[in-house]
């Protein structure tokens, strides 16, 4: 059983790279991209050919696979942005073409074995492959989360996120949404192809059908992660939740194999698992509603519990108000610093912090609260200036 769990953990980490790519398109960019299965198989095929036929090291082969996935994402993006084809159809067209491209890349072979070749986890020498895969998988995931956290905090990354949130507003602000979609789809499919290369090397073989079911696994991982991680969490924490969701999904998948279920039932179990994952947000909401009803019943039924609930709600309200005031003070402070700062680099950093703080405030307290932010900042400005209103 321990080996089964370790195997599920290993596969969860490697497939988590793909899940992050799916998260970028489906959640950040709000683009229903079905290229995933094709780019995943393409990544595995490119890496296998580079390693088996050209004797490249697994790490270098992964980089080439990453570029191949970016090219696949570029095709989907161009079909949508330049030829004005619907997102789903763009992905389907590219996916269909990639089956043939993958088959041709593999030299018209249905599969390629990777035995006694320098795969990516061979850097640890004689260490058992399962442990070396675990270490390399963890390194890859941490590096990708760090890179994504940095990138989506930049101006381009913020523009991609804004495009997914409200494309019309982005166009009104002068953002070229076609370019942001192209960059987002290239980045997403690059990560998906990288995941395919990693999975192919860990399994010791690849095939043209390696990516079948990848989109389902990616979405399930994203949904499980969103259920586990609060909606307003830090972006890096959200990505970590996607990784955890992938690990949980793969461990359950490994357990299904461990209990000896016939292979013809595996797809059925996968479908059931995905349905459960999709229902988790509803289950979570129903649980909260049920807890609220129980709380109201106990308040009406038992006076002592009512006193406890009143004090509890009072503490929670005071805590929320303190958090709101703290965030408001941060916004006011950053606003004042921007008015006095002259260094261009510092201004950019402070402005980025101010934008994030305002976004966080609006997410927690609603869009109408933006007026309160502006009024508070203006009042503080007048007070600081020492004018008549002071």
296: in domain: no
Same structural domain for residues 83 and 187? Answer: yes
Q: Give me the pLDDT at residue 350, please.
A: 78
- Residue at a domain's end among 243, 260, 277: 260
Same structural domain for residues 216 and 99? Answer: yes
- Residue at a domain's end among 213, 235, 260: 260
- The domain containing residue 352 runs over which residues? 319-382
Q: Give me the pLDDT at residue 180, please.
A: 94
Same structural domain for residues 341 and 225? Answer: no
189: in domain: yes
Same structural domain for residues 148 and 23? Answer: yes
Same structural domain for residues 109 and 250? Answer: yes
Residues of the chain with pLDDT under 50: 387-390
Same structural domain for residues 240 and 356? Answer: no
Q: In whole angstroms, give the CA distance from residue 219 to residue 36.
A: 11
Same structural domain for residues 48 and 187? Answer: yes
Name the pTM for this structure.
0.78
Q: In whole angstroms, give the CA distance from residue 105 to residue 100.
A: 8
Total domain count, the chain = 2
Same structural domain for residues 252 and 159? Answer: yes
268: in domain: no
216: in domain: yes
Same structural domain for residues 229 and 328? Answer: no
The two tokens of residue 246 are 């992938």
337: in domain: yes
Which CATH number do you get for residue 130? 1.10.3470
For the chain, give the secondary structure using H, E and C.
Answer: CHHHHHHHHHHHHHHHHHHHHHHHHHHHCCCCCCCHHHHHHHHHHHHHHHHHCCCCCHHHHHHHHHHHHHHHHHHHHHHHHCCCCCHHHHHHHHHHHHHHHHHHHCCCCCEEECCCCCCHHHHHCCCCHHHHHHHHHHHHHHHHHHHHHHHCCCHHHHHHHHHHHCHHHHHHCCCCHHHHHHHHHHHHHHHHHHHHHHHHHHHCEEECCCCCCHHHHHHHHHHHHHHHCCCCCCHHHHHHHHHHHHHHHHHHHHHHHHCCCCHHHHHHHHHHHHHHHHHHHHHHHHHHHHHHHHHHHHHHHCHHHHHHHHHHHHHHHHHHHHHHHHHHHHHHHHHHHHHHCCCHHHHHHHHHHHHHHHHHHHHHHCCCHHHHHHHHHHHHHHHHHCCCCC
- Residue at a domain's end among 260, 276, 301: 260
Q: Give me the pLDDT at residue 165, please.
A: 87
Same structural domain for residues 27 and 149? Answer: yes
Same structural domain for residues 83 and 158? Answer: yes
105: in domain: yes
Q: Are 45 and 52 in contact (CB under 8 A)?
A: no
350: in domain: yes
271: in domain: no
Q: Give me the pLDDT at residue 271, please.
A: 78
Q: Residue-wise over 373-386: b if at least 16 C-beta within 10 A, else e?
A: beeebeebeeeeee
Q: Give me the pLDDT at residue 36, please.
A: 93
Same structural domain for residues 126 and 234? Answer: yes
């Amino acid at each position: 059983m321990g080996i089964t769990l370790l195997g599920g953990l290993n596969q969860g980490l490697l497939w988590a790279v793909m899940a992050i790519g799916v998260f970028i398109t489906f959640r950040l960019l709000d683009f229903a991209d079905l290229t995933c299965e094709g780019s995943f198989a393409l990544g595995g095929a490119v890496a296998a050919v580079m390693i088996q036929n050209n004797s490249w090291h697994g790490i270098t082969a992964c980089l080439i696979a990453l570029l191949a996935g970016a090219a696949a994402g570029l095709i989907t993006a161009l079909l949508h942005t330049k030829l004005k084809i619907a997102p789903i159809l763009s992905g389907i067209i590219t996916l269909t073409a990639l089956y043939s491209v993958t088959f041709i890349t593999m030299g018209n072979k249905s599969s390629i074995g990777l035995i006694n070749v320098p795969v990516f986890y061979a850097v640890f020498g004689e260490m058992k492959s399962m442990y070396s895969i675990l270490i390399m998988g963890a390194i890859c995931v941490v590096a990708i989360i760090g890179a994504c956290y940095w990138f989506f905090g930049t101006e381009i990354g913020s523009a991609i996120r804004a495009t997914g949130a409200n494309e019309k507003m982005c166009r009104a602000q002068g953002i070229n949404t076609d370019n942001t979609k192209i960059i987002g789809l290239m980045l997403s499919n690059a990560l998906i192809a990288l995941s395919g290369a990693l999975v192919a090397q860990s399994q010791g073989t690849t095939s043209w059908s390696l990516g079948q079911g990848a989109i389902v696994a990616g979405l399930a991982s994203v949904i499980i992660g969103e259920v586990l991680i609060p909606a307003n969490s830090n972006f890096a924490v959200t990505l970590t939740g996607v990784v955890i969701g992938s690990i949980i999904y793969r461990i359950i998948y490994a357990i299904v194999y461990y209990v000896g279920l016939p292979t013809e039932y595996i797809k059925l179990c996968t479908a059931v698992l995905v349905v459960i994952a999709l229902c988790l947000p509803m289950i979570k909401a129903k649980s909260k509603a049920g807890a609220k009803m129980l709380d109201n019943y106990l308040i009406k039924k038992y006076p002592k519990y009512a006193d406890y609930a009143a004090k509890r709600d009072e503490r929670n309200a005071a805590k929320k108000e303190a958090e709101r005031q703290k965030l408001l003070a941060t916004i006011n402070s950053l606003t004042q610093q921007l008015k006095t700062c002259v260094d261009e680099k510092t201004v950019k950093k402070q402005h980025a912090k101010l934008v994030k703080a305002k976004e966080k405030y609006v997410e927690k307290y609603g869009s109408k609260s933006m007026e309160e932010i502006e009024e508070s900042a203006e009042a503080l400005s007048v007070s600081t200036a020492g004018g008549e209103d002071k």
